[in-house]
Amino acid sequence: RLPQLAKSLGQTRKAFKEGMREAEEEERIEQEQKKLQTPPLAATFDTPQVTSLSEEELLTEMRRRAEVKQ
């Protein structure tokens, strides 16, 4: 009886490890697919346009943006 129990435990452990390995592989594949489907970060934001603003206007805008970040 004891050898059968040990064999059964070994098979159960092996099946559990295999299931964990498969789940991890599926998770890795899903993460890779999400990365491929997500647009690059730079593409999600409008690129800033250089305009003919005065230095004072630029400084004011920079301060405003700094306050927004905080």
Task: Tell me the pLDDT tens digit for each residue of 6-47.
Answer: 999 999 999 999 999 999 999 999 999 888 887 666 555 665
Residue whose entry in the numeric block shows the structure tokens 């159960």: 12
Domain containing 30 equals: 2-69
Q: Residue 50: is its pLDDT beyond 70?
A: no
The CA-atom distances, in angstroms, between 31 and each of 34, 36, 58 are 5, 9, 40
Q: What is the per-residue pLDDT for 15?
A: 96
Q: What is the pLDDT of residue 42?
A: 57
Residue 23 token pair = 């789940």
Q: What's the total number of domains in the chain? A: 1
pLDDT of residue 54: 82
Please state the pTM of the whole predicted model: 0.46
